[in-house]
Chain A
Amino acid sequence: MARRVSTRRRVIVTAIAWAVAFLIFFPILWTFLTSFKTEGEAVATPPHFLFFNWTLENYIEVNERSDYFLHFMNSVVISVGSTVLGLIIAIPAAWSMAFVPGKRTKDVLMWMLSTKMLPPVGVLIPIFLLFKNTGLMDTRTGLVIILTLIDLPIIVWMLYTYFKEIPGEILEAARMDGAGLREEVIHILTPMAIPGIASTLLLNVILAWNEAFWTLNLTAANAAPLTAFIASYSSPEGLFYAKLSAASMMAIAPILILGWFSQKQLVRGLTFGAVK
């Protein structure tokens, strides 16, 4: 018999859920509102919530001052490029670890994850010098490579846990029917793992889109993505919150929309995958 939930309890739980959701969403809402204020209103005390002179001047100024499209395209190329490259490397790796584990597979997995525990700034200087000497500085190629390497452990871990969910017997049955390795991976494994691969892809595009340490440090004028676009609107002397908010909204809008449409996959990826 299903548990009976009283109406009162349901109302309370729903109210709490909405309150928590609002709390989490509030910074984005506030950024959104601030982006339509003047600089003076953005810092007014007490703050104005909805009743102020809504203006588009910040968006106009940001568009005049910066090349949004260049930064946007850089973000797209870098985040999609690094994720696809990462998947190409990670799918075979995760397959072998999930279905033909060796004696040290667990150790290899742990070692891969341990690379994420090092603070990135610890390897900034060596990577910076490597980039400088190989001509990768301020290029999209360079950023695709570095972000692939940075996110690879997460991609492998997520795929590994998805593949583990697939019963090995199905693959065995396929082999009994005469399927080779190629057929096995393409016709049996991949279709079953598509939801997992899709959520890995989405999550990593988001991670790469938001990555701000390497993208800020290894770019100048040509390959700078939207993170650098936002950073350029912070000012040491003079009010900047409204313009910064407008720039932030323009930078997060594409990924917010992508996240909105794919939230079902994303939630599955987050609760089911490696980052449980």
Chain B
Amino acid sequence: MKFRALAGACVLGLTASGAMAETTITVATVNNGDMIRMQGLMDDFYAAHPDIKVNWVTMEENVLRQKVTTDVATKAGQYDVMTIGTYEVPIWGKQGWLVALDDLPDSYDVNDLLPAIRSGLTVDDHLYALPFYGESSFTMYRKDLMEKAGLTMPEDPTWADIEKAAAAMTDKEAGIYGICLRGKAGWGENMAFLSAMDNSMGGRWFDMDWNPQFNTPEWKNTLTTYLNLMNEYGPPGASSNGFNENLALFQQGKCGMWMDATVAASFVTNPKDSKVADQVGFAMAPHKDGVAKNGNWLWAWTLAIPAGTQKEDAAKTFIEWATSKEYTALVASKEGWANVPPGTRTSLYENPDYTSAAPFADLTLKSINAADPKSPSVQDVPYTGVQFVAIPEFQAIGTAVGQQFSAALAGQITADQALQNAQSLTEREMKKAGYIK
């Protein structure tokens, strides 16, 4: 009898400890404002899910990319949730490296996700990641300088409008440069801008047989327009400028215009860091007269679950919470509407609280909707991606091409040489990889 009672107590104890057992999930993430904010708001998640504990591993973007790629490819299983971008999702989804998220609960309202973003995360009708924050790119400009020059910025400017404005605003003696653009070499640096700019000139990376297109008039037009703008009206040393360098220049009042990520809008309008906070206007990314595509990109940081994790259920619970409408409302209640992660849900842009707190919301949404990763150019393309080509070889090719264009900006080679080198190196890599027979 005693023994039986003891056994019963043990079973009870085991059941109880089983029910209370805590699942710890490890989340690999990138260091950006929205992700850091979430780490500070985890109490709400723990209150609703006391059985799940989240371990954060925050990394610099390049380190993150390298580590999660190695981890997912070798199935090392160090992470249960990975923060990856719209570049990785289609490639990894196709490889079978990610858990498909087909059984989301109705309360998640998957149809509320912005169509452009959702389409970039879908492979063969399966959604492989949930978007945490999305961005496009647009034109930011100084209203006071435009006014001084007697010009007005159209909402949908052409490259000719931009050149005219850049010329009028430049005052090198006063340290004001008409235009600041990315020049630092890298597939996610200058090539993000230039690939999107090429779309707006009617060009593309590859034709339908995967032949590189750097020998076309569109690419020549792209590169010469870019070099001319930067050489005539850009800041000195622009070939080493990336997002952060241009952000610092613009905030210090050194740039007339800056075309970059929509997320920059909240930084340049923040009076704490920006000297020009009340003087910033917004417009679409430019396009060539007569081309129906603007030079704006599409990017989202997403949360995905690597296939083979032992903690799939807990990981799903977490990413559904982190990308839900409830999370947006939580951020709004704690930190204000201007600080909610933007660019993922239609409902956010229909919310008057948000649109009045973020004066750039309307143009952000327009820019996101204007970018279509499945059809980035007016010409047909065989790939997915606006400012990148979602194939595994692209990181290496994009960076090598970016180095050529950065060298052209630094004046080490001519535009023609840069295009020729880009064409031959891309052709070589694509042949090696078997795309071109």
Contacts and interface: CB of A to CB of B under 8 A. Distances in A.
Contacts of B248: 43, 45, 239
Contact of A39 (B243, B264, B273): B273
Contacts of B60: 231-232, 234-236
A220 interface: yes
Nearest to B66: A217
Interface string A233-270: 11111111000000000000000000000000000000
Contact of A65 (B39, B188, B252): B39
29 contacts: A40-B251, A40-B273, A43-B251, A66-B58, A125-B74, A137-B76, A216-B63, A216-B67, A217-B70, A220-B28, A220-B79, A221-B55, A231-B59, A232-B57, A234-B60, A235-B30, A235-B32, A235-B61, A236-B32, A236-B60, A236-B61, A236-B188, A237-B261, A238-B32, A238-B33, A238-B247, A238-B267, A239-B248, A239-B267
A20 to B, nearest CB: 27
Contacts of A137: 76, 78
B310 to A, nearest CB: 14
Contacts of A97: none
A128 B263 CA distance: 36
B272 A40 contact: yes
B26 interface: yes
A132 interface: yes
Nearest to B26: A221
Interface string A31-53: 00000001110011100000000
Given A45-B252, A232-B59, 10 more contacts: A40-B274, A220-B57, A221-B56, A224-B57, A228-B57, A231-B59, A232-B31, A237-B243, A237-B244, A238-B33
A271 B278 CA distance: 58
A129 interface: yes
Nearest to B77: A132
B357 interface: no
Q: Considering the complex of A and B, which 9 residue pairs feature the smallest CB-CB distances, nearest first?
A: A43-B248, A234-B60, A40-B273, A232-B58, A236-B61, A220-B78, A221-B55, A235-B31, A132-B76
Contacts of B272: 38, 40
Interface string A65-76: 110000000000
Contact of A236 (B55, B58, B243): B243
Given A137-B76, A220-B28, A235-B60, A44 B252 contact: yes
A205 B82 CA distance: 33
A91 to B, nearest CB: 36
Contacts of B274: 40
Contacts, number: 93
Interface size class of B (residues with CB under 8 A): 35 or more
Contacts of A66: 58
Interface of B: 26, 28, 30-33, 36, 39-40, 55-61, 63, 66-67, 70, 74, 76, 78-79, 188, 243-244, 247-248, 251-252, 254, 261, 263-264, 267, 272-274
Given A220-B79, A231-B59, A239 B74 contact: no
A64 B58 CA distance: 14
A65 B58 CA distance: 10
A217 B71 CA distance: 10
Interface in A120-146: 124-125, 128-129, 132, 137-138
B311 to A, nearest CB: 13
Contacts of A224: 57
A128 B70 contact: yes
A163 B343 CA distance: 66
Interface in A191-225: 216-217, 220-221, 224
A45 B74 CA distance: 46
Given A231-B63, A237-B32, A132 B263 contact: no
Interface string A136-175: 0110000000000000000000000000000000000000
Given A220-B79, A239-B247, A239-B273, A129 B28 contact: no
B84 to A, nearest CB: 14
Contacts of B26: 220-221
Contacts of B31: 232-236, 240
B277 to A, nearest CB: 11
A231 B163 CA distance: 39
B76 A128 contact: yes
B60 to A, nearest CB: 4
Contacts of A64: 40
B290 to A, nearest CB: 33
A124 B73 CA distance: 14
B209 to A, nearest CB: 33
**Residue from B58, B261, B272 having most chain A Cβ neighbours under 10 A:** B58
Contacts of A233: 31
Contacts of B261: 237
B36 A38 contact: no
B298 to A, nearest CB: 15
Contacts of B30: 235-236
A40 to B, nearest CB: 4
A221 B56 CA distance: 7
Contacts of A129: 74
A138 B67 CA distance: 12
A238 B244 contact: yes
A38 B251 CA distance: 14
Contacts of B33: 238
Interface in A87-137: 124-125, 128-129, 132, 137
B188 to A, nearest CB: 8
B252 to A, nearest CB: 6
A238 B59 CA distance: 14
B326 to A, nearest CB: 24
A66 B55 CA distance: 11
B204 to A, nearest CB: 26
A235 B57 CA distance: 14
A238 B79 CA distance: 25
**Residue from A43, A44, A233 having most chain B Cβ neighbours under 10 A:** A43
